[in-house]
C-alpha cells in the first residue's frame, strides 16, 4: 500500500461553484461544463472513425494536456503555503473531483528545484477505458489518451519542464486497473515512440491554416480595407461601420453621435483612412478643451497683432488640415461666435484669420462629433439651427458598449495584445470568470473605460499568468449571483443568504439579530467567504480569520458533516 495520503480536498471543493441562476459552473475562475460521458464517447468515436486512431490519439492527448496545465495553475495558487507534495496532489485530486478517474498514488518523488520527478499512479473508473470498451471492445494498446495528456500537462507545468506520462497498463486492454508512469522526457529511452502525440498535429494545423485563409477571404470580400483599430461584429457596430465605409469616398460632412468613450475619434480616423484623402493631414480638435477666447484663433488662425500676445501670424486648424480631414470633437461645446464662422466655412469653403480681412480658400473634409443632444441644444438656444442642419446631413450613431456585449471578447483580445506590447509583458490571457465579469458590467465609460480596466489587468497580472477578476476592478468585483458549492458528502449545498450590509462595525450584532441569521449559518458563511477571498488558499483564509489552518479545516469539515 502507498504511504502517500491525500490532504483534505476542502480547498478544491470550495473552488467548485454552481450558479443555477445564470447557467454557469466555475472551477476557480475557469468555466466548466457538466457533460454526459455518452456525449464524449460519441465525439471520441466519431473522431476515431473520421481521422483514424493515431490522429484521434494526438488530438485528445493535447486536449488533456491543455486541461492539465490549467489545473496546475490553480494548484500553485491554492496551496502555495503547503508542501511540494501537497501542492502537486491537487492534480490527482482535481482529476478525481472532475469525474475523470480515481487516482491512487503508488510512488511519488518531486523536487522542483533540481527538476527531479518520478510518479506512478493507479487509476480506477477511468472514463476513457470504459467508453472504449463499450464502443470498440478490448483494445490492443492503452487508450486513456486524454487522461495521460492531463497528467503530463499538469506535471510539466508544475515542474517547469516536459514530464510525459505513459500508460503502461490499461483496463481497456485487459488489465485490472490502469497504471501510469511519468518522468522527464530524457529519462525515457523510447521517448520518440510517444512524444509525437504531444506535438502539434500537422493535419490539424493545415486545417486551421485553411480555415484562417477562408476567414481572411471572407473578411476581404466583406470589407476590402478593414481598419484594424475598429473591432466588432455586433449588429449596431456593423451598421455604424457600414455607414462610414459608404461615406468615405464622398465629400459629405459626417456627424458622429454617441456617448463618451464609444470611439468616435477612431471612427473619424477610419473615415479618413478609407477616403481618397488618406495621404493628406488628419487634424483633430477637442472643442471642449479650448477656452472660448482662444477657440476662434485655434480653428481659423490669427494674424500678427490681432490681439495682445499675437506676435506672429499663425495658421489655424482648418488651414493645417487643407486637403485632408478636420475632426471637431465635442462640437456641441462651440461658442455661438465660432459656430457662425464654422457655418461660413461649410457654406463658402473659405476662412478668415482673426485680425485679417483676407479670405483663404480651403479644401477640408469636416467630421464632427458630439455626445450631447443637438436637437435639445438648438431648442435651448445653445446651438445654431442652421449649423445643425449643415452638420446633420449624414449622422452616424455609434452604439454604447453595453449594447455590444458580443464584441467584448474580440475587444479584450486586441487590447491585451496591445498593452502587453506597450508594457513589454506577457500574460496567458484572461480567465473565463474575468471575461464573464466584463460582460456583466454596465460600462458608463464605454470602450475607453474597458481599455483602462484591461491595462490595469495586464499590469497587475503575474507574468505569463492569467488576468483574473481581482486584477481588473478597483474596490471589488461585480456582485455575482448566489452560487452552490459541493459538500464532503458530494451533495450540492444551497447558496448561503447574503448577509445584510452594515454601516459600521458596531452595527454588525444588531444587523445579524434583526436578520434572524442563526449563529451556525453565520459562522459557515464567514468561513466560506474567507476561503473565497483567499481564492481557495486555506492557509491565507485561516490568517484572515485569525486561526490556524488545521482549525479552519476542522470547522469546514464540521459544517460539511452537518449537511
Q: pTM score, two decimals?
A: 0.70
What pLDDT is recorded for position 439?
92
Domain at 541, CATH number: 1.10.10
Say how far apart CA 313 and CA 310 lie, in whole Å: 7
Q: Give mean pLDDT, residues 516-545.
A: 77
Q: Are residues 165 and 77 in the same domain?
A: yes
Lowest mean pLDDT among 141-155, 254-268, 415-429, 464-478: 464-478
CB atoms within 10 A of CB 28: 25
Domain termination site, one of 398, 417, 448: 398
Q: Are residues 259 and 185 in the same domain?
A: no
Residue 260 covered by a domain: yes
Residue 496 reports pLDDT greater than 60: no
Residue 245 host element (H or E): helix 235-248
Q: Are 465 and 428 contacting, i.e. CB atoms less than 8 angstroms apart?
A: yes
Residue 228 reports pLDDT greater than 70: no
Q: Are residues 155 and 257 in the same domain?
A: no
Domain termination site, one of 362, 378, 398: 398
Residue 172 covered by a domain: yes
Q: Are residues 305 and 367 in the same domain?
A: yes
Question: Could you say which DSSP state residue 4 is in?
Answer: -
The percent of residues above 90 in pLDDT, for the chain, comes to: 55
Say how far apart CA 432 and CA 27 lie, in whole Å: 10
Q: Give mean pLDDT, residues 247-253.
A: 95
- In tens, the pLDDT along 100-120 reads 999 999 999 999 999 999 999
Q: Are residues 182 and 94 in the same domain?
A: yes
Lowest mean pLDDT among 190-194, 458-462, 520-524: 520-524
Q: Are residues 391 and 525 in the same domain?
A: no
Residue 71 covered by a domain: yes
Domain at 351, CATH number: 3.40.50.300
Q: Are residues 191 and 286 in the same domain?
A: no
Residue 140 host element (H or E): none
Q: Are residues 180 and 271 in the same domain?
A: no
Q: 74: number of CA atoms within 13 Å, CB side?
A: 28
Q: Given pLDDT bands bounded at 50, 70 and 90, which one contains residue 504?
A: very low
Domain termination site, one of 398, 418, 447: 398
Q: Are residues 199 and 259 in the same domain?
A: no
Say how far apart CA 507 and CA 512 lie, in whole Å: 9
Q: Are residues 69 and 192 in the same domain?
A: yes
Say how far apart CA 138 and CA 141 lie, in whole Å: 9
Residue 376 covered by a domain: yes
Residue 297 covered by a domain: yes
CB atoms within 10 A of CB 180: 25
- In tens, the pLDDT along 358-385 reads 888 999 999 999 999 999 999 999 999 9
Pairing of strands 16-19, 24-27: antiparallel
Residue 429 covered by a domain: no
* Count of residues in the chain: 563
Domain at 104, CATH number: 3.30.1380.20
What pLDDT is recorded for position 487?
66
Q: Given pLDDT bands bounded at 50, 70 and 90, which one contains residue 188?
A: very high
Nine-digit cell string for 438: 466584463
Q: Are residues 272 and 201 in the same domain?
A: no
> Number of folded domains in the chain?
3
Q: Are residues 144 and 274 in the same domain?
A: no
Residue 368 covered by a domain: yes
More confident site: 233 or 228: 233
Residue 4 covered by a domain: no
What pLDDT is recorded for position 310?
59
- Domain containing residue 510: 496-561
Amino acid at each position: 500500500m502507498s504511504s502517500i495520503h491525500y490532504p483534505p480536498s476542502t480547498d478544491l471543493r470550495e473552488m467548485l461553484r454552481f450558479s443555477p441562476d445564470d447557467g454557469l459552473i466555475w472551477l476557480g475562475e475557469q468555466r466548466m461544463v457538466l457533460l454526459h460521458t455518452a456525449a464524449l464517447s460519441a465525439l471520441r468515436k466519431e473522431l476515431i472513425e473520421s481521422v483514424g486512431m493515431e490522429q484521434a490519439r494526438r488530438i485528445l492527448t493535447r486536449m488533456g494536456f491543455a486541461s492539465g496545465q490549467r489545473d496546475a495553475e490553480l494548484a500553485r495558487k491554492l496551496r502555495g503555503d503547503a508542501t511540494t507534495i501537497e501542492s502537486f496532489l491537487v492534480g490527482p485530486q482535481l482529476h478525481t473531483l472532475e469525474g475523470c478517474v480515481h487516482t491512487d498514488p503508488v510512488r511519488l518523488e518531486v523536487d522542483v528545484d533540481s527538476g527531479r520527478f518520478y510518479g506512478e499512479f493507479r487509476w480506477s473508473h477511468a472514463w476513457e477505458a470504459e467508453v472504449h470498451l463499450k464502443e470498440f471492445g478490448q483494445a490492443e494498446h492503452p487508450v486513456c489518451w486524454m487522461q495521460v495528456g492531463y497528467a503530463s500537462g499538469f506535471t510539466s507545468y508544475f515542474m517547469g519542464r516536459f514530464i510525459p506520462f505513459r500508460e503502461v497498463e490499461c483496463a481497456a486492454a485487459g488489465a485490472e486497473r490502469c497504471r501510469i508512469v511519468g518522468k522527464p522526457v530524457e529519462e525515457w529511452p523510447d521517448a520518440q515512440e510517444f512524444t509525437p502525440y504531444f506535438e502539434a498535429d500537422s493535419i490539424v494545423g493545415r486545417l486551421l491554416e485553411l480555415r484562417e485563409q477562408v476567414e481572411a477571404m471572407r473578411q476581404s470580400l466583406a470589407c476590402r480595407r478593414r481598419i484594424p483599430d475598429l473591432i466588432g461584429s455586433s449588429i449596431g457596430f456593423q451598421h455604424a461601420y457600414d455607414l462610414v465605409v459608404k461615406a468615405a469616398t464622398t465629400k459629405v460632412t459626417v456627424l458622429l453621435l454617441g456617448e463618451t468613450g464609444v470611439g468616435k475619434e477612431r471612427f473619424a480616423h477610419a473615415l479618413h483612412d478609407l477616403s481618397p484623402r488618406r495621404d493628406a493631414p488628419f487634424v483633430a480638435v477637442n472643442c471642449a478643451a479650448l477656452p472660448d477666447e482662444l477657440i476662434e484663433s485655434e480653428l481659423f488662425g490669427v494674424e500678427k497683432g490681432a490681439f495682445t500676445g499675437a506676435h506672429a501670424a499663425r495658421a489655424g486648424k482648418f488651414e493645417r488640415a487643407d486637403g485632408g480631414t478636420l475632426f471637431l470633437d465635442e462640437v456641441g461645446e462651440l461658442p455661438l461666435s465660432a459656430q457662425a464662422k464654422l457655418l461660413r466655412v461649410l457654406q463658402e469653403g473659405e476662412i478668415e484669420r482673426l485680425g485679417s480681412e483676407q479670405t483663404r480658400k480651403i479644401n477640408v473634409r469636416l467630421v464632427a462629433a458630439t455626445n450631447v443632444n443637438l436637437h435639445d441644444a438648438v431648442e435651448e438656444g445653445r446651438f445654431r439651427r442652421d449649423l445643425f442642419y449643415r452638420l446633420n446631413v449624414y449622422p452616424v450613431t455609434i452604439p454604447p458598449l453595453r449594447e455590444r456585449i458580443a464584441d467584448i471578447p474580440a475587444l479584450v483580445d486586441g487590447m491585451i495584445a496591445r498593452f502587453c506590447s506597450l508594457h513589454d509583458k506577457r500574460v496567458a490571457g484572461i480567465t473565463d470568470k474575468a471575461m464573464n465579469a466584463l460582460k456583466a458590467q454596465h460600462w458608463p465609460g464605454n470602450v475607453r473605460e474597458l481599455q483602462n480596466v484591461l491595462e490595469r489587468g495586464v499590469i497587475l497580472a503575474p507574468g505569463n499568468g492569467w488576468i483574473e477578476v481581482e486584477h481588473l476592478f478597483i474596490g471589488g468585483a461585480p456582485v455575482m449571483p448566489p452560487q452552490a458549492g459541493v459538500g464532503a458528502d458530494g451533495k450540492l449545498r444551497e447558496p448561503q443568504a447574503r448577509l445584510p450590509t452594515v454601516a459600521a462595525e458596531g452595527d454588525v450584532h444588531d444587523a445579524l439579530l434583526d436578520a434572524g441569521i442563526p449563529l451556525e449559518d453565520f459562522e459557515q458563511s464567514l468561513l466560506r467567504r474567507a476561503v473565497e477571498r483567499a481564492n481557495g488558499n486555506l492557509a491565507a483564509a485561516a490568517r484572515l480569520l485569525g486561526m490556524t489552518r488545521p482549525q479552519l479545516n476542522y470547522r469546514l469539515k464540521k459544517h460539511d458533516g452537518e449537511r
